[in-house]
Structure 1
């Protein structure tokens, strides 16, 4: 079938934090630039008082902005926040009650999908599924680096889904799981923070090596100690091992039947409409095998290491749309 392109407001984190837009004007800018039709928001980022104390005025602002720009609500990103307390994990019953208002607000706002996180255990998923079913909202577990479709925690979730057997439980693939290179922008930031070229080469070797993410980071950090690298960039480089996954992109086929939304994570798009860090041509081939239309949010996360004056998120999302359209072809992009 096809993919409906769109955008998550998370892409515009720098512009949002800089106070350049309020919620209505940010959505207006997305609409003006043609970065829809899909629109995704991050509950705790976009809505003051989320999820229990969002005012009627803010709800109206959001819905009016979506409507006047002809956009289509695709996903409301929730948080599991199982480590809110430093002394203990959130238990199953508390997790259910933490998720309940987020799901119910998604129904009120007209979002068909709630992005959930890997912190929700199979026990919580079984208890929260009736809430989602009552609201008519699908829960999409985000499969994000360093996880992948076949890592242990995701396998456990897949097994829980098979046992529960509900159409309201699915996945949100995030392409950070299967990257082919560390983004140049991240390497440049580490250089600016003082990491030497020897340190950069050490980082690349560790990232490309087999093993668990923090094992690879540990080897890198130990080598940097021997090289005398400064602590700041070595510490920041932890993100390389948690944000940029090395899973096999072909494994996405294993979860295609349960995909309810997609995070088109990206960091860079060249002038020839390819991404040096993520093999979008191959990924789009896999997702073109979907048997139905699924929405995808362009999710630029270069703001993790770039400031708003270094790169426009709006321009990056436009380039991402152009790249995805190139690889999907005319028939592979849904028109609304």
Structure 2
């Protein structure tokens, strides 16, 4: 069996969390029941008031209680540092470094081994924060996210800065969305619903499969009479591409966590769960070849493509991806959910009604 481990980014449950259908306990318990015991979070989603007001001691204590109760492992705190929109001004370098240090301390407080840095953050900021990360037993991982990839000059610049620093507290977190080998069906269906003519949608889907340059596709769509939503659909080709999973091999020593991005998990006629646009079979083989032993954390982002037409079922989508990952990793047991994913929320609602 593979040494790669399964986890979940609680970002996957964002719809249910926002609507109050799932509590933090529901999210952690559901993930644990699926055998995905690595838990990744976005601080703003999981801890009220973070980062503006900090996180309450009671909330952090509850986090640790739940992690222990469900035998899970804290994996990563994904922080933002949107320094260009900070109080209407660009955040100066020293303030950026101080902000990253604060996230390092928060990650350590939660028992995390990693914190995820947005790809927009300059390498010099992360290098300056690296000694603080070393002191706290944390690694800062820059997310390699489409449209960027491991041969992009910005990522190469980070890699060079990391090596020059000599710090092993700096690394990468690849997002599997950069390996989008087919136009996601769930995207196409959304664009059809909002008015893209079928012939244009079919053309864009085929153009993506044929790897036609995005600028040519946009021009062709305009010449086909496409406007508004049709142009927007063509524009998605600017921000997504079918990069090669094997490019991770050259960076494997600094790759410590994986975002298992997916948009739509489908069950085929054999009952197998598949992601129709991202080649996870190839991805897992590359990770195994590179000796990767960290987590692949499910990151469901198909919800925003369907919520205009139906209620997202993030739990079912995560379950299907975990079933797929377990099979690819050679696990014998099929992941299943044993408890209603909204059990805690239902119980809380009952208690409030009684009061």
- How does the TM-score come out when normalised to structure 1? 0.88
Q: CA deviation at 1:6?
A: 0.9
Measured in 2, the distance between the counterparts of 1:119 and 1:297 equals: 21
Matched-pair contact (CA < 8 Å) for 2:184–2:276: yes
What SS does the aligned partner of 1:83 have? helix
Name the residue aligned to 1:235: 232
Give CA deviations for 1:237-261 in whole Å, capped at 9, x if unaligned: 644542x332112111111111111
The answer as to 2:211 corresponding to 1:209 is yes
Q: CA deviation at 1:148?
A: 1.0
Measured in 2, the distance between the counterparts of 1:48 and 1:92 equals: 27
Judged with a 3 Å threshold, the aligned counterparts in structure 2 of structure 1 residues 152 and 86 are, in CA distance, closer, same or farther, namely farther
Give CA deviations for 1:179-209 in whole Å, capped at 9, x if unaligned: 1111101100100001012221342355453
Name the residue aligned to 2:254: 258
Matched-pair contact (CA < 8 Å) for 1:273–1:322: yes
Judged with a 3 Å threshold, the aligned counterparts in structure 2 of structure 1 residues 205 and 90 are, in CA distance, closer, same or farther, namely farther
Measured in 1, the distance between the counterparts of 2:265 and 2:30 equals: 21
The answer as to 2:268 corresponding to 1:267 is no
What SS does the aligned partner of 2:163 have? helix
Name the residue aligned to 2:134: 133
Name the residue aligned to 1:145: 146
Give CA deviations for 1:129-168 in whole Å, capped at 9, x if unaligned: 1121111111111111111111111111110111012111
What SS does the aligned partner of 2:172 have? strand
Indicate the larger mover: 284-293 or 129-138. 284-293
Judged with a 3 Å threshold, the aligned counterparts in structure 2 of structure 1 residues 135 and 17 are, in CA distance, closer, same or farther, namely same
Matched-pair contact (CA < 8 Å) for 2:221–2:230: no
Name the residue aligned to 2:345: none
Matched-pair contact (CA < 8 Å) for 1:145–1:176: yes
Q: What residue ranges of structure 2 are gaps of 5+ in the alignment?
A: 333-355
The answer as to 2:289 corresponding to 1:301 is no
Q: Superposition pairs for residues 1-336 of structure 1, below 5 Å?
A: 2-31=3-32, 33-51=33-51, 52-85=53-86, 89-204=90-205, 207=208, 208-209=210-211, 211=213, 216=214, 218-232=215-229, 234-235=231-232, 238-239=235-236, 241-242=238-239, 244-271=240-267, 272-291=272-291, 293-307=293-307, 309-330=310-331
Matched-pair contact (CA < 8 Å) for 1:143–1:149: yes
Which one has a bigger Cα radius of gyration?
2
Measured in 2, the distance between the counterparts of 1:210 and 1:256 equals: 30
Matched-pair contact (CA < 8 Å) for 1:82–1:119: no
Judged with a 3 Å threshold, the aligned counterparts in structure 2 of structure 1 residues 292 and 232 are, in CA distance, closer, same or farther, namely closer
What SS does the aligned partner of 2:277 have? coil
Aligned length: 324
